[in-house]
Structure 1
């Protein structure tokens, strides 16, 4: 967690510029590394059910006492653990966001960034900024070692867990809907939750075969094998099926340019019944208002440039692609629980 300066520190650092404010970024970078190490070592899991003394924790971790003490001191200062001087426990923030006991466990999302995205940044950030593209996309890099896909999908699933209920609550299904398609659905969490809410609904999660392993696990654990299936393929060229009542296009459009997205929406339209529903979820340019939101959108934009040679699109862009694909009744909803800029856009295929 970023250092939260007190009133005097904010005055001196942020308003009066009397101190080296970039030092906060250094603390933040170190905090990210420390938290990921704590996750790898199992520190938060050991503290999940009970508070422990330094000696007890060291024995469970099989680690050096002084090293663990230094790590805990920093995690305490950053708000991840708390102590009374002798014993340590997870803070409420850590318990909610970084332990396997929580439904909103974000640890796989941090692991995704630590093991995949930031190493990719290290290699290609400068190239992407200077030339406008990385030499390969991060998805092509994943294909070089398929295990990376599993780490990525676990991360995507963790991020989705924060907003899935809000997103599903905002979905407007056509009356009597029974069939849905999740294009590029990966981990499948959104589809699974929607099918839980609508017992008459069955679904296909369509994505590259390498991206579907996490979805298979999620479907089994949710007990919806009889209504949710996976299909491996290329959504540009392979048959998507037909006569669907609803289709998800979630977190895809940022990876493609306007011409490609227009083509994708036409393909999805062809797979839907007249009157069928499309739902598009992504981070949209111009959708953030607060300082944290604007910083987050800037961060996401730089990430997409570095990893995909891509850029954020606006709501007006999405409307244009939907119009071209003959969708109507276009409307949007802001998704507030997750990262900045998450926007759900829904539309109806004409002719219904």
Structure 2
């Protein structure tokens, strides 16, 4: 969490321009590196398991580090809001307990690790190339394929961020009574499809994605859903998707393709849906941010997609038009949860 300036600091740095506000970005970069190192060293989990706050020496022994190094790192994490002190001992803040512990339903640790180990290293190599040429020299997914373990880290990160929206997303998805089969296009982690199967016992789901993505998720399909969830590998733009689906999910897919590619994909999905079948599209939508944080988030997402995929974000109106062009009717949009910028768009074949 970036340092939160007090009123006087905000006035001097951000309003009156009397001090170097860019130093806050420097602090933020150091904060990210420190938090991801703390995750790697198991500092937060160690403090969580302890019966009482721990001093630097005891904590260093338990995480196999030098006490002086642990003290300096933890003092910075205190300043950034991740740790608190009781005397000379360290404990977790409520923020860290909520968002960075493995047993929490809102654990974002794998998402931060995904950025640390994969996305930012890819940025370091491709950022300037993408800005100068309009696209990276290869997509990040092609880069994942070069080392299969990258897919495992990526899917863990995708699951972590998807889990925050799971209930909100599922509540917006229409699964008509009697629907038997669902297709999750680019489904990867499968979290949404599996939850829909839990809520609709008569529903089965097929997760369709690249081989590396599917290999990384197969062992994470719960045993109780083994009869309801299967997988299919390939390129959803060209390979056989199957037939006879009542619902198709395209979650965080359309941003990776140009308009013509998305229309073609929607047409392919329409071909495998039963009459009256539904397509459900989820993504971040251009122009939907209403607050400084949400607007910055959308700009950050757009920059990320450019750097990693040579892609961009679209308006929901564009996607609605493409769905109609691909033959879908009754196209409707519904917001997802409290996070501005996210919505599902549904259409009926």
TM-score interval, smaller chain = over 0.9
Note the C-alpha offset of 1:254. Answer: 0.7
Q: How does 1:1-150 map to 2 (within 5 A)?
A: 1-50=1-50, 51-150=53-152
Q: Using the alignment, how far apart are the partners of 2:336 and 2:238 within structure 1?
A: 31
Task: Say whether the 8 Å CA contact 1:188–1:218 is kept in structure 2.
Answer: no
Return closer, same or farther for 1:105/1:70 CA change in 2, 3 Å cut-off.
same
Decide whether the 8 Å contact of 2:185 with 2:248 is kept in 1.
yes
Q: Check if 1:238 corresponds to 2:265.
A: no
**Contact 1:174/1:275 (8 A) holds in 2:** no
Matched-pair contact (CA < 8 Å) for 1:109–1:156: yes
Which of 185, 188, 197 is the matching residue for 1:186? 188
Match of 1:267 in 2: 268
- 8 Å CA contact retained: 1:207, 1:233: yes
Deviation of the 1:127 alpha carbon: 1.3
Equivalent residue, structure 2, for 1:303 = 304
Compute the TM-score of the two structures, normalised by the length of structure 1.
0.96
Give the whole-Å Cα distance in 2 for the aligned partners of 1:65 and 1:158. 31
Q: What number of residue pairs does the alignment pair up?
A: 347
Shift of 1:53: 2.4
How far apart are residue 217 of structure 1 and its match? 2.8
Partners of 1:159 and 1:122 in 2: CA distance: 23
Match of 1:166 among 165, 168, 172: 168
- Give the drift of 1:308: 0.8
Structure 1 unaligned regions, length at least 5:
none
Partner of 1:248: 249
- Aligned counterparts of 1:156 and 1:332: Cα–Cα separation in 2: 23
C-alpha RMSD of matched pairs (Å): 1.2
The answer on whether the counterparts of 2:209 and 2:232 sit within 8 Å (CA) in structure 1 is yes
Distance of 2:222 and 2:197 partners within structure 1: 13
Residue by residue over 1:122-157, the C-alpha shift from the partner in whole angstroms, topping out at 9 and shown as x without a partner, is: 111111111111111111111111211111111111
Give per-residue Cα distances to partners, 1:298-343, cap 9 Å, x unaligned: 11111111111111111121011100111111111222355x5222
CA contact (8 A) 1:204 1:231 kept: yes
Distance (Å, rounded) in 2 between the aligned partners of 1:161 and 1:12: 39
Separation in structure 2 between the aligned mates of residue 142 and residue 240 of structure 1, nearest angstrom: 23
Which residue in the other structure is 1:343 paired with?
343
Which of 195, 198, 209 is the aligned partner of 2:197?
195
When the two structures are superposed, what TM-score results if normalisation uses the length of structure 2? 0.97
Q: Which residue of the partner structure matches residue 330 of structure 1?
A: 331
Aligned equivalents of 1:202, 1:345: Cα separation in 2: 22
Q: What is the CA distance between 1:165 and its match in structure 2?
A: 0.9
- The equivalent residue for 2:290 is 289
Q: Structure 1 residues 214 and 140, CA, compared in 2 at 3 Å: closer, same or farther?
A: closer
Structure 2 Cα separation of the partners of residues 218 and 92 of structure 1: 29
Q: Check conservation: 1:262, 1:321, Cα contact below 8 A.
A: yes
Residue 116 of structure 1: CA displacement?
0.9
Cα distance, 1:205 vs. partner?
A: 0.6
Separation in structure 2 between the aligned mates of residue 277 and residue 26 of structure 1, nearest angstrom: 46
